[in-house]
Structure 1
Amino acid sequence: MKYYEDFHVGDEITLGGISVTREEILDFAKRFDPQPFHIDEVAAKSSMFEGLIASGWRTASICMRLYVDSVLNDSSSIGSPGVDQLRWKRPVRPGDTLHGKFTFLEKKPFRKGIGLLKGRAELFNQDGKLTMMFVGNGMFGTKE
């Protein structure tokens, strides 16, 4: 188990990998972001994206899942007060394989027994191209 004291500014953690399927893109978008370029392959071909793309919110949820698996599940995480930035840099398409990294940027005491860590998550496709990034804040329990 990692506590607030175990993380340091500049630490980089590799976030595992996941492949994105057409079915997954369609399912998520139909439920949560039903824009034509996410749910209709014909409309998507005539869009500026020239094909079906994943919702940015799906991409963000993939990044969060990888972060939870690689960092939070083995930590004293007690939640987040929010995200400062979220940017979608490149579309995610069916068949893409995504992987990422998380870099700790700032560290400061928050209140008794809790420290606040700020970090940047970056998600890349199989070609090493940045697809999205966010800067977020996390609260972690201290050892004392």
Structure 2
Amino acid sequence: MKFEDLHRGRHIEAGPACVLAAEIIEFARKFDNQWFHTDPMRAESGVWNGLIASGFHTCSIAMQLVATTILEGSESYASPGLAYVKWPHPVRPNDLLTLHVDVLESKVSTSKPWLGVIRWTWRLVNQNDVTVLELEATSLFKLAA
């Protein structure tokens, strides 16, 4: 999508993405090596009653959905960061995740008129419509000359 397509009030859905136990373990072994992400047997008797995905894995899934659905072919080139990120519920093996994106603000920078700024929320839900990720991001787009 182009910057012009991302106007305030726009709602976009992406997914679903299926999360496999092997992917949860692989990601965690590499980036978040905690037993409740990497050891299914031990996780069964843990506080989460089973294996759960790393929150950062959950963010990566959301990013992949945004990249392939919204940002592919766009002028997006950077993000200065997130206002917040929350993981209200865990992601479990075989969850089907759908992303809901809502554009809060779309503006052209006053100091850099070649720069478009998008402020948006991303909400990732599982197959039961339970929210597993909420975040607010700012994304930058190079505008056509």
TM-score normalised over the length of structure 1 = 0.94
Confirm whether residue 112 of structure 1 aligns to residue 113 of structure 2: yes
Distance, in Å, in 2 between the alignment partners of 1:70 and 1:22 is 24
1:127-142 pair list within 5 angstroms: 127-142=128-143
Q: Deviations over 1:40-67 (max 9, x none)?
A: 1222122210100111110100000001
Question: What is the percent sequence identity of the aligned residues?
Answer: 37
Q: Is the 8 A contact 1:120 1:134 kept in 2?
A: yes
| Aligned-partner Cα distance in 2 for 1:10–1:133 | 17
Structure 2, unaligned runs of 5 or more = none
Quote the Cα distance in structure 2 between the aligned partners of 1:58 and 1:133: 13
The alignment's C-alpha RMSD in Å is 1.2
Q: Is contact 1:5–1:143 with CA below 8 Å preserved after alignment?
A: no
What is the CA distance between 1:113 and its match in structure 2?
0.8
Asked whether the equivalents of residues 37 and 51 of structure 1 are also in contact (C-alpha less than 8 Å), the reply is yes
Q: TM-score, normalised by structure 2?
A: 0.93
Name the count of aligned residue pairs: 143
Amino acid at match of 1:66: L
